[in-house]
Each structure stands twice: as structure tokens, then as C-alpha cells.
Amino acid sequence: MKVVIIGGDAAGMSAAMEIVRNNKAAHVVVLEKGEVYSYGQCGLPYVINGKVPHPEDLIARDVEEFRSKYGIDARIFHEVTAVDTKLQKVSGIDVNSKEPFEFIYDKLLIATGASPTMPKIENAHLKGIHTVKTIPQMNELMEQLPNVKHVTVIGGGYIGLEVVETVRERGLDVRLIQRGSTLMSILDTQLTDIIYEEAVKNGVEVLLNEDTVGYEGTEFVEAVRTNSGVHKTDLVIVATGVRPNTQFAQGFAKLENGALIVNEKMETSIANVYAAGDCASHFNRVNQKDDYLPLGTTANKQGRIAGLNIAGFNQKFRGIVGTSILKFFDLHIGMTGLNNEAADRLNALVEAYVMEVNDIASYYPNVQPMKLRMLVEQQSRKLVGLQIVGKHGVDKRIDVFATALYNEMTFEELLDLDLAYAPPFSGVWDGIMQAPKRYGKKE
């Protein structure tokens, strides 16, 4: 069986490993347009503040290991430009030699991820304007940072915030420009003020409601122009979102943003073609829709399922509930399920509980507050979502709630959970039990 995988990172190589482990008759070719395989993109921001000493430390397995140890025909600099789904053939170009190539497949996996969006604005070609996505990009950024005193980050989502923190920890001045009126706009507004205050407390200049319209400079960027003014800077990092890399895949069913729609087996709308990771849709168990939440956890899981199915098994991806977490200076910010805006699109009335709870017993040293917002379906009492911002203990609450959400538990059933308790770890009624204890329905 000839298997072709496009993309040599999280989803692609999770699949490749399952195929070579489970189907000795498979010949696996991986076509990767870059030269680095299997690296932890999530760790890239921490190269900036030195917590990860070198970008290369993020590589889990290099291309040689895939070739020699696992017998995978792992190509580098092979960019796929077209898929002929009738002839079952992919074609493309070697980005170094410019030589064309073609591969016939019995099974194809598209695992091409997503690329950062770069606003097409005036002078976007200037040097010193970066995105944080690949190891070569990070090497280029790290080469320029020693000559820089001031950095502007465009985009106040999770990658923008992680980069702001690490640039600041490097001792540089930072300005954060956000088009909307809040940072982390995926969170409901009751929680976003805390994030803004944390940025300001840490010396970040935050500009809200400013739309970047162009850059100024001759060779290197010298200023960012927004609808409100011109802001001098030495370097720009753009983190304004991502777009799935699926332009070459014509004739497939796609979401509005271009992500390939997959079923629970990771099959696309075309026979013998699978997709996984940031280039694919992610079935959301909470709203029962094909959603798009590009995260490393999901890419690895979907890749594994695609690989097992290509190898001959019948595995199902059970869906996401939309769980993520990030650190921003002293804050931990966690979310799972739907936010207000997404919940508004449910065919059901949703109640919101906003509370401040303690992370540990109120009498124990260093107790810290956490602010949480819990959404619950009014009629069915089913959990819909949780967002928490605090300094400690957010990860535990988010993961417990995510497990409850995955299992379609109700608000009142949160009280039945047998959670670990001792004063240094939580209150006797854990933070996520406070809302159902106070406001839950009693039979």
C-alpha cells in the first residue's frame, strides 16, 4: 500500500508513526515543504526569553531518525501544489532545485497545518516584520532581537500574549496593538479586564481598538501606522490568526475558512483522502458542529486516528470540547466549551454564573482568587463552558470541567464529583463546585 502524507509535523508524523508500527506492508512517503520535522511549535515563544535555549531544542525527532529508524521516506523541501484525486496522484516542486515531482497514492493524508495570516498592508515587505510559526522563522527573529530595544506585537490572542510576555521578560519595551476592545477576545468580557491590567502592570503599552494599516521604514521597519497614529518601533511580530494550508486541495468540501471537512474517521469528502490537524475541521461535541480550533493536542489526536485508519483499523475521533490554557505573566488563563458568543448560537437558553473563588483553603498561606465564568443550558442543565483567570490552580479546574463537559454532565452533577482535597490544594468545596452549590436546582 502506497501512503503519501503531506506535512511533516504534529498531525502528519503522528499518523506516519501509527502506520509504520501497525502495517508492515505500507510504504510511507512524507512530503514536507520545509526542512524540519516534528517540532513543538507551542514552545517557540519561550525561545525569546531563554526558557528554551535554542529553537532546535523543540525538535522531537529529526528527519534522519524517521528515515533510518522507522523506514519512512521522509522528504524535505517538497512542496505539494496539486492533488489529482481521480488519478490518485500528488504533484509539486522541490523548493530548492525547482524540480517537479509526482507521487501516486493508495491512501493520502493531508496534514499541512495552517499559516499565520499577514495583513496585506502598505510596506509589509520591510525587514523586521515577523511571525512565530517555524524554527527558521524563530532563528531569523533571534538574530535580529539583540539589535532591538522596542518590539510591537500585533494581535492580542494567545500567541500574541505569550510573545508579549517573553519579549518583556527579555528586558525589551513592548507595545501590543489589538484591533478589538479587549485582549483575548475569545473570553467573555467579565474576565478580559484582568488580562489588560496584568499587561499594564508588567509595563506593556496596550493599544486597543487600533487597526494596523501600514508600516513605515526604508529597509527595516521603523514604525507601525494604525487608524489612530504612527507608532515608532524597532521590530514587529504579527499574531493575527491562522489560515488552513489547503489552497492546493481543490474539489474538497471545506469550511468557510478553507479547513477540509472530515468525518469521525478523518476521511475528507473524497475517497482515500484523509485530513488531520490545523488544516482540518474539528468536530465540537458541545455544539455538535464541525468547528475550527487549531491546537496541538487535537492535531496529534486526529493524526493518530487518521494513521490507525489508514493502517486498517476502524478508529473514531470523538471530538473536541474546546479546551485551552495559557500563561500571561502571573496569570493562568483557561477555557473549555463555548463562550457567550458561541453559546448564543445554540438553540437553547444559557445561564451564566460569574464568581470569584479561592484556589486553596481560605485560611492557608498564599491563597489566591480565581475569577470564573460558567455557562449552563437552562433547560437541560447541561454544562456549556467554563473560563477561569487566576494565578494558580486554573489548569486543574479547567481539566476537571473539560472531562465533565466531554461526558455531558449537568451543572448539579458537578457537586457529585469526588475531587481531591486538602487545604494546600483546594477548598473543601472546590472552586468549580461553588456555583452549583449556591445556585444549583434542588429536587
Ligand X SMILES: Cc1cc2nc3c(=O)[nH]c(=O)nc-3n(C[C@H](O)[C@H](O)[C@H](O)COP(=O)(O)OP(=O)(O)OC[C@H]3O[C@@H](n4cnc5c(N)ncnc54)[C@H](O)[C@@H]3O)c2cc1C
Q: Could you say which residues in the range 228-257 bind ligand X, by CB under 6 A? A: 245, 248
Shortest reach from residue 408's CB to ligand X, in Å: 23
Shortest reach from residue 322's CB to ligand X, in Å: 11
Is 42 designated active site?
Answer: yes
Give the closest residue to 307 by CA, choosing from 2, 16, 7.
16
Pick the binder of ligand X from 132, 191, 286, 389 (CB under 6 A): 132
Cell 491562522 belongs to residue: 242
CA atoms within 13 Å, Cβ hemisphere of 381: 13
Pick the binder of ligand X from 250, 297, 378, 380 (CB under 6 A): 297
Residue 275 is a binding residue for ligand X (CB under 6 A)? no
- The span from the CA of 89 to the CA of 106, in Å, is 9
Q: Are 252 and 259 in contact (CB under 8 A)?
A: no
Pick the binder of ligand X from 3, 4, 5, 6 (CB under 6 A): 6
Residue 277: φ, ψ to 5°: 90, -150
How many other C-beta atoms lie within 10 A of the C-beta of residue 35?
15
Site size for ligand X (CB under 6 A): 32
Shortest reach from residue 301's CB to ligand X, in Å: 10
Pick the binder of ligand X from 3, 4, 9, 430 (CB under 6 A): 9
Using DSSP's 3-state secondary structure scheme, residue 198 falls into helix
Q: Could you say which residues in the range 60-79 bind ligand X, by CB under 6 A? A: 79
The catalytically annotated residue of 1, 22, 27, 42 is 42
Judged by CB under 6 A, which stretch of 3-11, 19-27, 189-197, 353-361 contacts ligand X? 3-11
Residue 377 is a binding residue for ligand X (CB under 6 A)? no
- The span from the CA of 168 to the CA of 150, in Å, is 10
Shortest reach from residue 232's CB to ligand X, in Å: 26
Residue 140 is a binding residue for ligand X (CB under 6 A)? no
Using DSSP's 3-state secondary structure scheme, residue 110 falls into strand
Judged by CB under 6 A, which stretch of 49-57, 105-113, 147-155, 170-178 contacts ligand X? 105-113
Shortest reach from residue 423's CB to ligand X, in Å: 31
How many other C-beta atoms lie within 10 A of the C-beta of residue 401?
28
Closer of 9 and 198 to ligand X (Cβ): 9
Show the cell assigned to 53.
535555549
- The span from the CA of 345 to the CA of 157, in Å, is 22
Spell out the alpha helix ranges (H) of 113-214.
135-144, 158-169, 189-201
Judged by CB under 6 A, which stretch of 101-109, 166-174, 220-228, 291-299 contacts ligand X? 291-299
Shortest reach from residue 137's CB to ligand X, in Å: 9
Cell 494604525 belongs to residue: 226
Pick the binder of ligand X from 3, 10, 400, 402 (CB under 6 A): 10
Residue 111 is a binding residue for ligand X (CB under 6 A)? yes
Shortest reach from residue 9's CB to ligand X, in Å: 3
DSSP state of 261: P
Give the closest residue to 382 by CA, choosing from 374, 371, 390.
374
Closer of 172 and 223 to ligand X (Cβ): 172
Residue 307 is a binding residue for ligand X (CB under 6 A)? no
Give the closest residue to 38 by CA, choosing from 71, 16, 69.
16
Residue 370 is a binding residue for ligand X (CB under 6 A)? no
Ramachandran bin of 389, using left for φ above 0, alpha for ψ from -120 to 50, beta for the remaining angles: beta
How many other C-beta atoms lie within 10 A of the C-beta of residue 89?
15
Closer of 31 and 404 to ligand X (Cβ): 31
Show the cell assigned to 38.
516534528
Pick the binder of ligand X from 157, 294, 334, 431 (CB under 6 A): 294
Q: Could you say which residues in the range 152-191 bind ligand X, by CB under 6 A? A: 159
- Sort strands 282-284 and 289-291 into parallel, antiparallel or unpaired: antiparallel
Closer of 123 and 263 to ligand X (Cβ): 263
Judged by CB under 6 A, which stretch of 56-64, 292-300, 308-316, 359-367 contacts ligand X? 292-300
Pick the binder of ligand X from 277, 319, 390, 431 (CB under 6 A): 277
Interface pattern 12-51 for ligand X (x via CB under 6 A): x------------------xxxx------xx-xx------
Let me know if 168 is exposed, middle or buried by CB neighbors in 10 A (0-12, 13-18, 19+): buried
Distance of CA 78 to the CA centre of its chain: 25
Q: Which residues 6+ apart lie within 8 Å of 396 measured at CB?
A: 426
End-to-end CA distance of the chain: 59
Residue 204 is a binding residue for ligand X (CB under 6 A)? no
State the residues that interact with ligand X by CB under 6 A.
6-12, 31-34, 41-42, 44-45, 79-80, 111-113, 132-133, 159, 245, 248, 277-278, 294-297, 299
Active site residues: 42
